[in-house]
A and B are shown apart, each in its own frame.
Chain A
Amino acid sequence: MPTLSTEEITHELNRIFAEEVEAALRYLHLASAVRGLDRLVVERVLKEGFANTIHHAGVIARKIRALGQVPRLQVNLSCPGEPLSAREALGTALTVEEAALEGYQELLSRVEGDVPLEEFIRSQIATESEHVAQLKELLTE
């Protein structure tokens, strides 16, 4: 498989950077929007999600910088001002985490041959997979 150029890798990492930042903003909103008896427990999970995704965004930004590039960010996010149940909030978080995981998996298939980058993407996949599993577990009755 042809190796991606630095510009192509940077472009893909910028896309993932936007995914992580947007996910963090969604977590922030969800933590404030959740209502119900189990709100406090779910709010804690969502706030942890925010902290994790912002951390991931920082890791991606540092990776872009390590390539000698400057991270470029473009997000277009609108979250409705309606209360959510715990299940709805966690369901939304799961959707977003699964989308992020897919993004890393697709990028992995394109960087095969670039060992350091492969290793980096694999470690991100491992982390995201854990988040997805945790959310699925919470949503399983």
Chain B
Amino acid sequence: MDTWKEFDQNVVSHSAAHHLMAVDDLIQRLGYARVSDVARGLSITRGSVSISLQPLKKAGLVVQDENRHLRLSERGQTLVDAIKAKRHLAQRLFAEVLGVDPEQAEIDACKMEHLVSKDTARRLSSFLGFLEANPSIGRKLLAAWREYDQNNEHDADSCPICKAERIADSITP
């Protein structure tokens, strides 16, 4: 129940995260961001962007000036930086450690970037940092894992985790 509470109280939704990142990307690229630019970038209407920005402005994450140009507040910028960092970490974990196809890794990282807690992100960063600082250990670990599950065809019958909790059956529909 607590997990769901935390889920609901998460600062921004997936859509809101993308609106914030769109504003950030535009400002970095062009030096300004307008509603129409965000709409074009996200391939949605100006109306949808305007509606989506309302709660973000109310939350103090986005500011619109008298020229109707958008910018992120300090809080908004901090949030975007954190989301981008978490996406990068997740993408590296999926692609470089788990061997997921890079395109799929990017998609999956995008799905969870705004949900991962600070603590999990720090530990993930530490883990990836450890692998990078100890390449021979990392290589041995990954080689051993790939040997264990060569074709990514997880054998539930011989897996100690799945025997206890039938996880593989739950993952594969």
Contacts and interface: CB of A to CB of B under 8 A. Distances in A.
What is the interface residue range for chain B against chain A? 10 to 19
Interface centre among B35, B47, B50, B68 (most CB of A within 10 A): B47
A19 interface: yes
Interface in A16-51: 18-19, 22-23, 26
Contacts, number: 39
Interface of A: 15, 18-19, 22-23, 26, 74-77, 92, 95-96, 98-100, 102-103, 106
Given A102-B36, A103-B36, A96 B50 contact: yes
Nearest to B50: A99
Interface string B16-31: 0000000000000000
B45 A19 contact: yes
Contacts of B43: 74
Interface of A is mostly: helix
B54 interface: yes
Interface of B: 35-36, 43-51, 54, 68
B44 A92 contact: no
Nearest to A100: B47
A99 B45 contact: yes
B47 A95 contact: yes
A82 to B, nearest CB: 13
Interface centre among B35, B46, B49, B54 (most CB of A within 10 A): B46
